[in-house]
């Protein structure tokens, strides 16, 4: 029996488009002799729809579209994710659901039983737990269907199960022959390997194959990597979907497969492909065909403009160099060389005259005061205004170039280099930016080697380097990872061998600059804990660091 696993890239709330994806994949599956086509969690709506779920008209339309889709299904069965009303009419009133469609009718329904409420997940805000999972018979086998979080009780994170309820165990007690999980599981580093471990554990414990179908694509700050898979009853990975690309693969239940070993690409490749997909999808789903990047000649803007070229095509990318009185000739040359290597549109707009005009206008108020970071920030804000003017005029999405280390420390200027529509690398630590640059250059120089090797600098005052005001990046990034991703406190981080004064300074700045990050553009989530929706800290709070 042939089963099609269809990882699609839906657009949130675009029912016509999403149904066209489901229809096309179903036709492909049917023409290939499949009896069942499996689609991701909420494939009809796109995930996550957030507070659209609070609009009754949106829920009604989703149900109308599900009925419409069911009429079109012939000679094949389809598992489709959608949102249903809770028949009990209690609690939130909605259930994250899955429908089995066969020959023009909905043959069965089930829902998500475990509702995550951590990191970027907020499902208890919208949904009630489903009273039961979908199970059905087909081709002489009994199939059990779970939705995303329902399988994650298999992971021992804190010394025990995450939930009292175990949907997989309940299905196994019914004697299912195959476990299916439909998901919209966002990417983070090493997530694919973790999912595989979960499926292996479940398949071995219950002696059944496990089919995992995941959404692909970028939706706002979340990246969905696909990487759908099938694991046999012995825990062997036997089918694997593409990473960061829509895909359809077929699993034949009667066929003997070799095990897929070493399934995951290099970390640099995965992250780079994720950023490229996320940039492309954010731009296209928001209606942009062009992107714009300010080029400083530094590592961060070089990395962002490369990603933009891969995402949109170099013909749709504009790079703008805006040298100030403190910009070195090296930086100007490297920016122009990079633009030439990539084949993008390139313009240089010097800002010294604009900077002088600002200083003249402010001179009466600033009389007798030394120049400080105020004048540095004026340069950044001039550049931000120029870039936003170009963005408006040419309808090009401005990409912000700050990295995670800078965002954490507030080493960025409100209404200056924080201007833009998408912060592409805001979840990439500075040290990893260098790893990505080296990976990009693995087959020949694209980013000028001098850009990678020279000390990083904002070049907003004479002879400035980042390390004038920040710890060395390898030290800073280790402290930040411990504080942000591992949630370690002051004493725990010091115990890892760091200078207590440096740790206090870093954590103090991390706390203080929450207000800047709240005003930054959305960024693409790569690590297990990114700034933004999944990390919620107060701005007005005590100054103690923990």
Please provide residue 516's backbone torsions phi and psi, each rounded to the nearest 5 degrees.
-70, -45
Question: Looking at residue 13, what DSSP letter applies?
Answer: T
Token duo for residue 311 = 């995402």
What ranges in 207-328 are assigned the alpha helix state H? Answer: 267-285, 299-312
Residues 305, 341: Cα–Cα separation, whole Å: 11
Q: How many CB atoms lie within 10 A of CB 226?
A: 27
Q: Provide the CA 82 distance to its chain's centre, in angstroms.
A: 22
CA distances from 458 to 45, 171, 303, 466 (A): 43, 58, 16, 7
Residue 181 contacts residue 213 (beta carbons within 8 Å): yes
With vertex at residue 510, the alpha carbon angle to CA 504 and CA 511, rounded to the nearest 5 degrees, is: 90
Residues 342, 281: Cα–Cα separation, whole Å: 21
Coil vs helix vs strand at 26: helix
Residues 298, 447: Cα–Cα separation, whole Å: 10
Nearest CA-CA partner of 429 in 484, 384, 499, 503: 484
The DSSP result for 460-485, as a single string, is SSTT--GGGTS--HHHHHHHHIIIII
**Residue 214 CB contacts under 8 Å (≥ 6 apart), including other chains:** 7, 40, 183, 184, 185, 195, 224, 225, 226, 227, 228, 241
Q: How many CB atoms lie within 10 A of CB 22?
A: 23
CA distances from 524 to 175, 275, 377, 428 (A): 41, 7, 25, 9
Token duo for residue 383 = 């550049």
Nearest CA-CA partner of 477 in 515, 431, 520: 431
Residue 40 contacts residue 182 (beta carbons within 8 Å): yes
The DSSP result for 328-361, as a single string, is -HHHHHHHHHHHHHHT-EEEE---HHHHHHHHHH
Kindly list the catalytic residues.
41, 112, 148
Work out the angle between the directed axes of helices 500-512 and 473-480 (0-180°, nearest 10): 70
**Residue 184 CB contacts under 8 Å (≥ 6 apart), including other chains:** 40, 41, 42, 47, 48, 81, 148, 214, 215, 224
CA distances from 34 to 3, 39, 335, 493 (A): 5, 14, 52, 54
């Amino acid at each position: 029996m042939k089963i099609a696993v269809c990882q699609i890239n839906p657009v949130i709330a675009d029912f016509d488009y999403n149904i066209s994806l489901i229809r096309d994949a179903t036709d492909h599956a049917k023409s290939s002799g499949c009896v069942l086509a499996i689609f991701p969690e909420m494939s009809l709506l796109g995930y996550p729809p957030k507070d659209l779920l609070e609009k009754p008209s949106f829920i009604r339309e989703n149900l109308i579209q599900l009925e419409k889709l069911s009429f079109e299904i012939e000679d094949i069965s389809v598992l489709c994710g959608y949102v249903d009303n809770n028949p009990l009419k209690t609690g939130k009133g909605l259930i994250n659901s899955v429908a089995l469609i066969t020959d023009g009718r909905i043959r069965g329904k089930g829902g998500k039983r475990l509702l995550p409420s951590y990191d970027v997940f907020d499902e208890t805000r919208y949904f009630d737990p489903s009273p039961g999972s979908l199970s059905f018979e087909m081709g002489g086998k009994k199939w059990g269907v779970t939705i995303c979080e329902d399988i994650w009780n298999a992971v021992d994170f804190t010394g025990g199960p995450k939930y009292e309820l175990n949907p997989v165990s309940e299905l196994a007690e019914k004697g299912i022959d195959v476990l299916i999980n439909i998901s919209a599981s966002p990417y983070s580093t090493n997530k694919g390997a973790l999912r595989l471990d979960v499926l292996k554990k479940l398949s071995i414990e219950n002696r059944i194959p496990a089919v995992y179908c995941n959404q692909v694509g970028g939706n706002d700050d979340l990246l969905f990597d696909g990487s759908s898979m099938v694991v046999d009853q012995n825990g062997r990975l036997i089918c694997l979907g593409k990473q960061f690309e829509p895909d359809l693969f077929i699993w034949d239940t009667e066929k003997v497969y070799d095990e897929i070993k070493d399934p995951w690409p290099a970390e640099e490749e995965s992250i780079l492909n994720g950023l490229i997909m996320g940039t492309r999808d954010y731009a296209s789903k928001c209606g942009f065909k062009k992107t714009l990047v300010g080029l400083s000649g530094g590592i961060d803007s070089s990395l962002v403009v490369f990603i933009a070229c891969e995402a949109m095509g170099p013909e749709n990318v504009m790079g703008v160099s805006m040298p100030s009185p403190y910009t070195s000739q090296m930086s100007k040359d490297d920016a122009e060389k990079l633009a030439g290597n990539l084949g993008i549109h390139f313009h240089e707009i010097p800002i010294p005259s604009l900077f002088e005009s600002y200083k003249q206008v402010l001179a009466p108020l600033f009389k007798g005061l030394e120049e400080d970071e105020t004048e540095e920030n004026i340069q950044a804000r001039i550049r931000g205004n120029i870039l936003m003017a170009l963005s408006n005029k040419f309808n090009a999405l401005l990409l912000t170039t700050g990295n995670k280390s800078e965002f954490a420390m507030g080493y960025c200027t409100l209404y200056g280099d924080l201007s833009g529509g998408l912060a592409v690398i805001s979840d990439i630590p500075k040290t990893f930016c260098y790893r990505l640059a080296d990976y990009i250059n693995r087959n020949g120089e694209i980013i000028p080697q001098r850009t990678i090797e020279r000390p990083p600098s904002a070049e907003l005052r004479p002879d400035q380097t980042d390390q004038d005001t920040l710890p060395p990046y390898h030290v800073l990034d280790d402290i930040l990872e411990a504080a942000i991703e591992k949630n370690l406190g002051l004493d725990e981080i010091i115990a890892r061998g760091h200078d207590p004064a440096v740790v206090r300074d870093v954590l103090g700045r991390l706390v203080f600059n929450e207000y800047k990050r709240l005003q930054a553009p959305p960024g693409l989530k790569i690590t297990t804990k990114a700034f933004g929706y999944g990390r919620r800290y107060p701005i007005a709070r005590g100054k103690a660091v923990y």
